[in-house]
Amino acid sequence: MSNPKFTHVLVDTGPLVAILDKSDKHHALCSETLRLIQPPLLTTWPVLTEVAWLLRDQPKGLQILYTGVQTGFFRIAGLPESGLADIAAIQKRFQTLRPQLADMSLVLLAEMEKWNTIFTLDRRDFSVMQKKTRPKLLLLPETLQ
């Protein structure tokens, strides 16, 4: 990896699926973006659950996902039990979006870790959330093709 530009990056479901599935329409974009990020990326169990479900018919992709922690590609952040109350508050704050648990877990993690960069393909939800979250969230890739 040459000259990573971004550190302390949270990763959402979409980029993980795109990187692991070469037929995904965002594979090239996410793979290029990944070259700009200094590992490890940080994610949550709800995100990994979504990824595993979406890749359930791709055993090779799942195997790479499972070994991602051992290779230093990403870390899985544990959320405290008290985090459920925080997620409920996030859900209430953004209820018109009908946010997914994985997205809310990343918003909570961003607040807990004070990391503000999220590698996501979900512009609809995170664009709204970024306007109400402090510090403001930076969304990667910076442009979607």
Average pLDDT, the chain: 89
Whether residue 23 is predicted with pLDDT greater than 70 in this model: the reply is: yes
Quote the CA–CA distance of 70 and 49 in Å, as a whole number: 18
pLDDT of residue 133: 61
Whether residue 1 is predicted with pLDDT greater than 50 in this model: the reply is: no
Domain ranges of the chain: 11-140
pTM for this predicted structure = 0.89
Q: Give pairs for 18-21: CB < 8 Å, separation 24+.
A: 18/121, 20/51, 20/55, 20/58, 20/61, 20/64, 20/65, 21/55, 21/58, 21/61
Span 29-41, pLDDT tens digits: 999 999 999 999 9
CATH architecture of 11-140: 3-Layer(aba) Sandwich (3.40)
Span 77-101, pLDDT tens digits: 988 888 889 899 888 988 888 889 9
